[in-house]
Amino acid sequence: MSRDTTSAQRIRLVVGLFLSASVAVGASSEGETVVPPEDVARGHASGWFMVQLAEPLDVSADGGELSLATGRPELDRAIRTAGVIRIERGLSWTGADREARARLGFDRLYKFHVPVGADVQAAVSLFAQTAGVDYAEPDFVGHGAATFPNDARFGDQWGMHQASNHDVNAPEAWDVTTGSSAIVIAMLDTGVDFYHEEFAGKTVPGWDFVNNDSNPQDDHGHGSNTASVAAARTGNFAGIAGTCWNCLIMPLKNLDANNSGYYSWWASSLTWAADHGAEIASMSEGGTSDSTTLHNAIRYAYDAGLVIPACMMNANNAVPYYPAAYSETIAVGGTDQLDRRASPFCWGGGSNYGSHIDVVAPGDLILGAARGGGYNTWCGTSQATPIVSGLAGLIESLDPGAGREEIRHLTRSGAVDRVGRSTEDTAGFDVYMGYGRVDMRRTLDAAVGIGSLRVSGATLTRPYLATPISLATSYDFIRGDLSALSETSGGVALGTVTCLADNLAAPDTGGGHEDTTRPDPGRGFFYLARFNAAPGAGSYGGSSLHRDRGASAGDCSK
C-alpha cells in the first residue's frame, strides 16, 4: 500500500466486506482507470461479481455479447432476481494452455454486472446456491504492500551490502553469477517508468490490465521501485544495482494509480505471465480476502512452472494476505538494517508474520528507481519480495531447469537463521522470520551443488511430465544415471534423496518400482529431492523402507 507523508495517518487495510451502492471503475486525474475509493473501502467491486459456471455460456453470432437469457431456468431466474444487466468474460487473459484453462474453469468464469445500488453480497449468496454454478464471489480489492517513499535519498543499498553484514551478501553472490538475459521476471505491480535509465533495454512486452492496453507505464511509482530492486540495469556507472543484473523485466500493470487493484486484474496478469515466457512472477501486493479466482490463477502459473514470490504485507500482525498465504507462492517478510523483522517500518506498521511465511529479506528504506526519474527509498515487504524474485532469477540463470520447489528449498536452506530478535527468530522455522534472512551467496553455492549431481560427468535433465502424478506437487524430478549424490554444499542441506528405477513412463511409489540397485546399462534413475514433504517415514505415501537413502548409504547405486 502506498503512502506519502500526509497519508501515513490514513492507513487503509481491507479487513472485511461492506455493502454499499454500486459504482463503475473510476478514472484518475490523468485519465487512467483506477479502483474507486468506495470499492477500496468495502474491499470488493460494487458493480459486478465473479461467477464460474459448470458449463460455458453461448456467445452471440458476432462473437461478442453474452446474452442475459441463457436458456438455463435456475440461472436465468437468478439473473433476473439479482438484476444483472450485463455479462462478460471473467478474465481479460484466460491463458493459452487449454487443458489448464478448462481444468481451472477460466473458460467458464464470468463477470456479472449489476446496477448502482445493488446488493453484491446478496447476489453472490444467491448465485452460490444456484444449480449449475461452481462458485460465486466478489471481485475483491487488494493493494500494493509498499509504503510511502522517503523523500531523502538513501545513498547506499544497505540490503545488498553493509559493514555489519545484516544484508543478503549480494556482491559475494555476484561472484557466482550476475544472471542471464534469458530469464524473464514478470513484475505484477503498477507498471514501470519506461523512460527511466534503469529500464533502458531491460523490458520485454507486457500488458496493462488496469486500462486494458499494451502500455503498462507506471502512474504511481511502486512498480518502478520494485522492478528496479529485482533487475535494474547494472554496470552502467549510474543509479543502482538490480538483484539479478541481466534478467529481463515483463511489466504487468495490475495496480492502479492509487496502488489498488481488483483480483481479476491480478488473475489475468498471472495467466499472461505464464503464457508469455516468464520464469518468475513477482507479486508485491496482497489482499485479506481468499479468492477461488485468484487461487486458480496462482495454480495456473505454478503448474506452468513459474516461481511466485509474494509479500507478507505490512500490518504488523498474523492476518493472512493473499496470494502470499497460498502454498504455491514463496511468502516473503521484511527486515530492517539490524536484521530484525521490520517492526516498525520507516513509516510505521510492520512486516506481517504467520505459519505460511518462507523467508525474510531487507525491506526498510530500500533505494530504487523513482517514477519520473531519479531515485528514492521505500519501506515494506514489497521491497523484500523482488530481492527473492531476483535471487530466483540468478538460480535459474545457473540452472535453467531448476524446478519451482527446488528454488523454494534452496532459498529456505540458504537463508541465515537466528539473526533477528531472540524472542522471534528462534532456531529453525519460526512464524516471524520463516527459515531465516535470505543469503544470496549461500543459496547460489547450494544451487551449484545441486547442479553438480551427476555420474561420470553425465548431465542430468528434468523431464516434463505430461500427466502429472501425485509426487509432482512436492518434488522436482531429475532424470539421470546417478552414482554419487552430495547432500550438502557450503553447509547448506540439499535435501534427502530418493532413487526410482526408470522402468515406467510415470514412476510412482505405490507399485514397488523403487530400485535400490544400480539399473541395467542404458537405464537411468529418477531422483527426487525431498523439498516439500513432511519429515518422517512414508511422508510421501506408503512405506519408505527402501525409498529414503540412508545417511550412510553413500549414493544411489547402493
Residue pLDDT, tens place only, 433-476: 999 999 999 888 877 755 443 323 333 333 333 333 333 333 34
Residues 303 and 406 both lie in one domain: yes
Residues 140 and 196 both lie in one domain: no
Rounded to whole angstroms, how far apart are CA atoms 183 and 277? 9
pLDDT at 450: 53
Residues 219 and 299 both lie in one domain: yes
Judge whether 222 counts as a catalytic residue. Answer: yes
Residue 536 is assigned to a structural domain of this protein: yes
- Pairing mode of beta strands 488-489, 492-493: antiparallel
Residue 505 has pLDDT above 50, yes or no: no
Rounded to whole angstroms, how far apart are CA atoms 256 and 29? 12
Least confident of 6-10, 372-376, 506-510: 6-10
118 CB-side CA count, 13 A: 27
212-271: pLDDT as tens digits: 999 999 999 999 999 999 999 988 778 999 999 999 999 999 999 999 999 999 999 999
Residues in the chain: 558
Rounded to whole angstroms, how far apart are CA atoms 199 and 233? 6
Residues 119 and 77 both lie in one domain: yes
pLDDT at 362: 98
Of the listed 113, 166, 220, 222, which one is catalytic? Answer: 222
DSSP 200-240: TT-B---EETTTTBS--B-SSSHHHHHHHHHH---SSSSS-
Residue 487 has pLDDT above 90, yes or no: no
Residue 485 has pLDDT above 80, yes or no: no
pLDDT at 28: 52
For residue 401, what is the enclosing H or E element? none
Residue 497 is assigned to a structural domain of this protein: yes
154-184: pLDDT as tens digits: 347 889 988 888 999 998 898 889 999 999 9
Residues 348 and 479 both lie in one domain: no
pLDDT at 387: 98
The model scores a pTM over 0.95: no
pLDDT at 252: 98
Domain CATH code at residue 267:
3.40.50.200
Cβ atoms of 287 and 140 within 8 Å: the answer is yes
Residue 16 has pLDDT above 50, yes or no: no
290-331: pLDDT as tens digits: 999 999 999 999 888 899 999 999 999 999 999 999 999 999
Residues 248 and 209 both lie in one domain: yes
Distances (CA, A) of 192 to 12, 232, 426, 443: 24, 11, 38, 28
Judge whether 44 counts as a catalytic residue. Answer: no
Cβ atoms of 142 and 285 within 8 Å: the answer is yes
Judge whether 161 counts as a catalytic residue. Answer: no
Residues 86 and 140 both lie in one domain: yes
Distances (CA, A) of 86 to 21, 67, 213: 17, 8, 22
Residue 5 has pLDDT above 80, yes or no: no
Of the listed 39, 107, 189, 425, which one is catalytic? Answer: 189
Residues 212 and 285 both lie in one domain: yes
Mean pLDDT value across residues 205-215: 98
76 CB-side CA count, 13 A: 7
pLDDT at 163: 81
Least confident of 58-72, 155-169, 506-520, 538-552: 538-552
pLDDT at 41: 86
Give SS3 for 39.
helix
One-letter identity of residue 193? D
Residue 21 is assigned to a structural domain of this protein: no
Single residue among 429, 447, 465 that ends a domain in this structure: 447
Q: How many structural domains compose the chain?
A: 3
* Ramachandran quadrant class, 320 (left: phi over 0; alpha: psi -120 to 50; beta: rest): beta
487 closest CA partner among 549, 545, 532: 549
Mean pLDDT value across residues 522-548: 29
Single residue among 402, 422, 447 that ends a domain in this structure: 447
Residues 341 and 490 both lie in one domain: no
Residue 181 is assigned to a structural domain of this protein: yes
Rounded to whole angstroms, how far apart are CA atoms 432 and 495? 23
Least confident of 291-305, 345-359, 511-525: 511-525
Most confident residue range from 34-38, 97-101, 148-152, 217-221: 217-221
Residues 374 and 255 both lie in one domain: yes
357-413: pLDDT as tens digits: 999 999 999 999 999 999 999 999 999 999 999 999 999 998 886 778 778 878 988
Cβ atoms of 479 and 455 within 8 Å: the answer is no
pLDDT at 347: 94
Single residue among 399, 419, 447 that ends a domain in this structure: 447
Mean pLDDT of the chain: 78
DSSP one-letter code for 402: -
114 Cβ neighbours under 8 A, 6+ residues apart: 22, 47, 48, 49, 82, 83, 84, 85, 120, 123
Host domain of residue 488? 453-558
Strand ranges for 358-435 from DSSP E: 359-362, 366-369, 375-378
